[in-house]
């Protein structure tokens, strides 16, 4: 038996010459210095392809001339193949570069950018206390009457959905529902716009969720203290769900609490468009 120890690489039948490197040699970067700023790549029809920022503009832009199909992503190869001209905007410091980049990403959503372009998917989490239940869910807008109270915005629909799914599993265990199937490990977010589930309508649980989503306390221990695990599967579900919950609380709820305090946001909500800018500043 032959053992292969090296990764296969795509075989290039013809030598690929980076077209952006050719443009650099022809003077495309003439006059651009190593300083703070934002760069924007356009194609021949003046369509904005990509927005980036750097503390060393010239060095950063030069790096695109070294992109090769055998070691870089297809997306980057396509990008450098389309670039026709560059627009530069100098900034005073790194913070102002980041804020200016966020502004362009929100406004234009360039084809080749991914991060910080889908602010409409930064979600709010809501709770509603009914006579015999507590509803918990997420919504894409702060203008809703579905919930009594909203918290957020939280960056990332998928991570917030995973947190809610983890609470759903913990609630299933807490209420004695036996977990017998791997469906409780589902990671794909539900497709419904406002997803919610009901929990035990105790004042203790209601206060717990208010403190959780506001980032005040991570008091999960009392809420799951009576959980009885009767199988290895239930133990795995419990530990995985607890880990997802703790990760979300530290990276989302606590971060938002810090931002609200630093920015003196009194109503408790951070706007979807403003979240990335506050993260830059603080």
Condensed to tens digits (0 to 9), the pLDDT of residues 158-198 reads 888 888 888 888 888 877 765 544 444 444 444 333 445 66
CATH of the domain at 81: 3.40.1440.10
Same domain for 74 and 158, yes or no, is no
Domain of 73, in residue numbers: 19-108
Whether residue 246 is found in the same domain as residue 145: yes
Residue 104 C-beta-side C-alpha neighbours within 13 Å: 24
Angle made by CA atoms 270, 38, 26, in degrees to the nearest 5 = 155
Say whether the peptide bond before residue 153 is cis (omega within 30 degrees of 0).
Answer: yes
pLDDT of residue 120: 67
Return the number of other C-beta atoms located less than 10 Å from residue 46's C-beta: 8
Choose among 193, 205, 203: nearest CA to 146.
193
Number of structural domains, the chain? 2
What local confidence, expressed as pLDDT, does residue 85 receive? Answer: 92
| Length in residues, the chain | 282
Same domain, 103 and 136: no
Q: Is residue 96 domain-shared with residue 133, that is, in the same domain?
A: no
d(CA 77, CA 101): 22
Cβ atoms 91, 36 nearer than 8 A: yes
CA–CA separation, 215 vs 196, rounded Å? 20
**Position 7 pLDDT exceeds 70:** no
Q: Where are the beta strands (DSSP E) in 147-268?
A: 149-154, 196-199
Q: Are 109 and 51 in contact (CB under 8 A)?
A: no
pLDDT digits (tens, 9 = 90+) for 89-140: 999 999 999 999 989 998 899 999 988 777 767 889 988 888 777 888 888 8
Q: Which of 169, 156, 166 is nearest to 124 (CA)?
A: 156
Inter-axis angle of helices 232-248 and 157-174, nearest 10: 140
CB distance 242 to 220 below 8 Å: yes
Assign 6 a pLDDT band (cuts: 50, 70, 90): very low
Is 113 inside a domain boundary? no
Q: Do 260 and 195 share a structural domain?
A: yes
């Amino acid at each position: 038996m032959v053992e292969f120890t090296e990764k296969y690489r795509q075989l290039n039948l013809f030598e690929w010459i980076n077209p952006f490197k050719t443009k650099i040699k022809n003077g495309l970067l003439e006059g651009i210095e190593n300083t703070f700023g934002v760069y924007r790549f356009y194609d021949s029809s003046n369509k904005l392809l990509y927005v980036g920022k750097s503390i060393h503009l010239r060095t950063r832009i030069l790096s695109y001339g070294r992109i090769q199909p055998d070691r870089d992503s297809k997306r980057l190869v396509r990008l450098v193949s389309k670039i026709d001209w560059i627009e530069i905007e100098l900034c005073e410091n790194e913070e102002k570069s980041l804020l200016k980049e966020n502004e362009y990403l929100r406004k234009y959503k360039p084809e080749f950018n991914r991060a910080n372009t889908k602010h409409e998917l930064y979600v709010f989490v809501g709770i509603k206390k009914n006579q015999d239940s507590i509803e918990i869910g997420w919504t894409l807008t702060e203008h809703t009457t579905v919930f009594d109270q909203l918290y957020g915005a939280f960056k990332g629909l998928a991570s917030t959905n995973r947190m809610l799914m983890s609470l759903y599993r913990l609630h299933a265990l807490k209420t004695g529902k036996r977990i017998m199937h791997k469906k409780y490990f589902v990671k794909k977010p539900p497709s419904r716009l406002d997803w919610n589930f009901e929990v035990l309508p105790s004042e203790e649980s209601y206060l717990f969720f208010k403190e959780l989503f506001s980032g005040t306390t991570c008091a999960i221990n009392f809420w799951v203290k009576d959980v009885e695990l009767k199988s290895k599967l239930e133990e795995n579900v419990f530990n995985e769900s607890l880990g997802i919950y703790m990760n979300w609380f530290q990276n989302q709820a606590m971060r938002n609490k810090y931002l609200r305090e630093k920015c003196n946001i009194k109503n408790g909500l951070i706007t979807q468009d403003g979240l990335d800018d506050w993260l830059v500043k603080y």
